[in-house]
């Protein structure tokens, strides 16, 4: 009896090989996501926006004042390390994240999902992620946790968003490509593992790299900029940032949209062109 219970509790260290991962994601996982019901997608999409927002929150807190102690590079690595919480929650707890669902294109290439269904899923998940991001930003604003460390946490959050809305279209687009290549690689590798510890390690490193280097994730930006638009109503925070008026000029709804468009397009390209098409050709099409 004890032996049987021990067998049930044993960790499954078995891992899918690259070919098995490609076939599992394109023929099973993404097909199931594309065929999920509307209510389920909306609810899980809202949760994903909230989960990524939590990653943004802990990143802001961790990195707001550490550069003077451990240096800029180490601070960026720390920021990336804690941000990985967001995708861990999405993958392990379960949620629908737009950037991850770009992998549904693999199911389209397999002929298992139509383009119409793909676009519907992307549209619903994107909007749901937006709702979740804004919802968390509003709640966080009223918690006043941004007042921590004599308002320096809130000032740093403002600086993050101001930096993002002042990037050029090309900068955001190319950073978006590299960002979602890494995000989808994290999901890809997590799908290789059949236990939670393996999934955590698979997610941690690619996400740490994308945040540390400074690539652009459209859903994270939904939270960062939404929160900053609320914080910008506080004169005491604006004074602490020491930002020039011309730098703050783009922190508005127009600057928000001008960031989201290239970030979203770049995220799609990074996944569809540089991951899905390559792996589908190498492991699925060639195998046929």
Q: pLDDT digits over 79-135, tens only? A: 999 999 999 999 999 999 999 999 999 999 999 999 999 999 999 999 999 999 999
In tens, the pLDDT along 234-266 reads 999 999 999 999 999 999 999 999 999 999 999
pLDDT attached to residue 5: 52
**Using 50, 70 and 90 to split pLDDT, how confident is the model at 285?**
confident
Domain ranges across the chain: 17-285
Burial of 120 (0-12, 13-18, 19+ CB in 10 A): middle
Percent with pLDDT over 90 in the chain? 94
Structural contact between residues 20 and 196, judged by C-beta atoms closer than 8 angstroms:
no
In tens, the pLDDT along 41-94 reads 999 999 999 999 999 999 999 999 999 999 999 999 999 999 999 999 999 999
pLDDT attached to residue 21: 97
Residue 156 vs residues 6, 199, 223: alpha-carbon distances, Å: 49, 31, 14
Residue 195 vs residues 8, 52, 201, 224: alpha-carbon distances, Å: 13, 22, 10, 32
Whole-angstrom distance, CA of residue 169 vs CA of residue 263? 8
Tokens of 235: 């004169």
Domain 17-285: homologous superfamily in CATH: Glycerol uptake facilitator protein. (1.20.1080.10)
Helices assigned H by DSSP within 84-114: 85-88, 98-101, 105-109
pLDDT attached to residue 243: 92
Residue 245 dihedral angles phi and psi, to the nearest 5°:
-55, -35
Structural contact between residues 251 and 229, judged by C-beta atoms closer than 8 angstroms:
yes
Whole-angstrom distance, CA of residue 167 vs CA of residue 164? 6
pLDDT attached to residue 11: 59
- Average pLDDT across the chain, whole number: 95
- Triad 263, 204, 164: Cα angle to 5°: 25
Whole-angstrom distance, CA of residue 73 vs CA of residue 228? 24
pTM: 0.94
**Using 50, 70 and 90 to split pLDDT, how confident is the model at 2?**
low
């Amino acid at each position: 009896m004890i032996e049987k219970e021990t067998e049930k509790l044993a960790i499954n260290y078995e891992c899918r090989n690259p070919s098995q991962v490609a076939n599992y994601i394109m023929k099973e996982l993404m097909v199931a996501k594309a065929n999920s019901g509307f209510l389920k997608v909306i609810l899980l999409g809202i949760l994903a926006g909230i989960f990524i927002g939590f990653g943004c929150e802990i990143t802001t807190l961790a990195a707001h004042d550490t550069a003077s102690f451990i240096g800029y590079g180490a601070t960026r690595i720390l920021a990336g390390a804690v941000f990985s919480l967001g995708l861990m929650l999405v993958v392990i707890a379960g949620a629908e994240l737009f950037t991850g669902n770009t992998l549904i294109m693999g199911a389209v290439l397999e002929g298992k999902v139509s383009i119409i269904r793909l676009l519907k899923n992307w549209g619903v998940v994107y909007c749901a992620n937006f709702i979740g991001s804004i919802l968390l930003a509003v709640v966080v604003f009223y918690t006043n946790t941004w007042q921590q460390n004599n308002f320096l946490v809130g000032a740093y959050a403002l600086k993050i968003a101001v930096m993002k809305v002042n990037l050029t279209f090309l900068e955001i687009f190319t950073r978006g490509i590299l960002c979602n290549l890494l995000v989808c690689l994290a999901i890809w590798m997590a799908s290789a593992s059949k236990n939670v510890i393996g999934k955590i390690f698979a997610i941690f490193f690619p996400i740490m790299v994308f945040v540390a280097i400074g690539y652009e994730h459209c859903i994270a930006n939904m939270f960062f900029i939404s929160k900053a638009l609320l914080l910008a109503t506080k004169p005491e925070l604006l004074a602490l940032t020491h930002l020039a008026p011309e730098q703050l000029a783009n922190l508005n709804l127009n600057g928000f949209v001008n960031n989201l468009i290239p970030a979203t397009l770049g995220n799609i390209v990074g996944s569809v062109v540089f991951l899905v098409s390559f792996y589908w050709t190498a492991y699925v099409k060639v195998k046929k």
